[in-house]
């Protein structure tokens, strides 16, 4: 296993607490190079567990999302003159020049994209219209991966640890999102304090009706944009680079101080969920989850889904018949002994743990 820190942009190497040196779950079930959810490579068990097509387009994969990049990550990308990042730099520069979704705090999705994302149904992984602007269509990769934000750093379609793995990565996303917000504000406090003093950082996360410019994908009126950027208008790239310079000089314990009590609590939650994801224990009593989805396959096996629409567990049909014995009334070991005595069958503890982690079996 690699460390949690190694799964994140290198910029965080000297910022995050020592906990992030802990091993991260290795998500072998979800890979970018060979997308497990693509129609060209996915297993049949994920095609339709509940009657809905769940596979992704091979030319979008899970990249039907538009990241919100904090100012310092943009500055880090613009400061990276390596050939490998040339395309990513070109795209972010193009985005900055468009002035759409560009502010001193973020380069974020257009308001229309956010509206479509929140109000569309069953589009994720399947709508080319929603493809990320930083997605490399020719390679299927990401042009800004070294400087990705919290959502892209922590999303997987499937988790080796099942529901426990998803809870860990979602908790990590919460922590990183808090870090992005506070680090970007820290940079603004040094470089453009009036942005914070005027409460514009609060307006950045607010939503409202779409404007004409939002609907037509055009830049905001020049006066509005100038009022937002003040003396930095026209010098946005330099401003973002300066934000990066501010953040990379934050001392080792500086981030923890910036995050305060919220960061302390989120870190404690993250530590707890990390233990559950990496050192699982089988509960004493389990019952079959009545909300689990069931799909019988042509070969007589069964695909069971629960915690995620993207992840199913395939079992022999005869094994499925044993699961109804887990009613939550008796300890797991008593149920296993009953199966051995009366049905000459058993479910290994490792199989039961896997079913629990996928929430096919749940605690009563």
Q: Which residues, in sequence order, are CB contacts of 232 under 8 Å at separation 6+? A: 104, 192, 238, 239
285-362: CATH number? 3.90.930
Kindly give the parts of the chain with pLDDT less than 50.
44-52
Domain ranges in the chain? Answer: 5-30+62-278, 285-362
**For 38, phi and psi rounded to 5 degrees?**
-70, 145
Give the Cα separation of 150 and 158 in Å (integer): 17
Query: What are the pLDDT digits (tens) for 127-173?
Result: 999 999 999 999 999 999 999 999 999 999 999 999 999 999 999 99
3-class DSSP state of 207? coil
Contact 308, 158 (CB under 8 A): yes
3-class DSSP state of 40? coil
Q: pTM, whole model, 2 decimals? A: 0.94
DSSP 8-state secondary structure symbol assigned to residue 219: P
Task: Enumerate the H helices of 130-199 as residue ranges.
Answer: 150-154, 162-191, 193-197
Q: What is the pLDDT of residue 41?
A: 57
Q: Could you give the C-alpha distances from 223 to 161, 171, 317, in angstroms and in order?
A: 51, 40, 67
Give the Cα separation of 361 and 328 in Å (integer): 9
Q: What is the pLDDT of residue 1?
A: 66
Contact 164, 277 (CB under 8 A): yes
């Amino acid at each position: 296993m690699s460390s949690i820190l190694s799964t994140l942009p290198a910029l965080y190497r000297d910022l995050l607490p020592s906990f992030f040196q802990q091993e991260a779950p290795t998500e072998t079930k979800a890979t970018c190079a060979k997308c497990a959810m693509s129609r060209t490579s996915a297993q049949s068990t994920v095609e339709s567990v509940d009657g809905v097509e769940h596979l992704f387009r091979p030319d979008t994969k899970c990249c039907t999302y538009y990241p919100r990049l904090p100012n310092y990550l943009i500055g880090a990308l613009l400061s990276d003159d390596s050939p490998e990042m040339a395309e990513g730099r070109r795209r972010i520069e193009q985005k900055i020049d468009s002035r759409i979704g560009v502010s001193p705090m973020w380069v974020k999705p257009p308001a229309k994209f956010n509206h479509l994302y929140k109000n569309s149904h069953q589009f994720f992984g399947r709508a080319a219209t929603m493809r990320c602007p930083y997605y490399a269509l020719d390679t299927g990769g990401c042009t800004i991966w070294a400087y990705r934000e919290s959502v892209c750093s922590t999303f997987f379609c499937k988790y080796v640890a099942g529901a426990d793995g998803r809870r860990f990565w979602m908790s990590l996303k919460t922590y990183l999102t808090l870090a992005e917000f506070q680090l970007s504000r820290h940079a603004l406090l040094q470089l453009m304090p009036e942005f914070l003093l005027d409460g514009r950082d609060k307006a950045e996360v607010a939503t409202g009706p779409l404007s004409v410019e939002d609907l037509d994908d055009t830049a905001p009126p020049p006066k509005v944009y100038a009022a937002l950027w003040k003396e930095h208008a026209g010098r946005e790239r330099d401003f973002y680079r300066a934000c990066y310079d501010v953040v990379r000089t934050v001392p080792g314990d500086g981030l923890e101080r910036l995050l305060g009590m919220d960061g302390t609590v989120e870190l404690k939650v993250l530590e707890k969920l990390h233990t559950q994801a990496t050192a699982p224990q089988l509960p004493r009593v389990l019952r079959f989850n009545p909300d689990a989805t069931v799909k019988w396959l042509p070969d007589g096996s069964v695909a069971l889904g629960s915690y995620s629409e993207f992840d199913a567990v395939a079992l022999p049909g005869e094994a499925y018949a044993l699961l109804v014995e887990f009613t939550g009334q008796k300890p797991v070991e008593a149920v296993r002994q009953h199966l051995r005595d009366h049905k000459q069958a058993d479910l290994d503890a490792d199989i039961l743990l896997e079913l629990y982690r996928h929430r096919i079996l749940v605690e009563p």
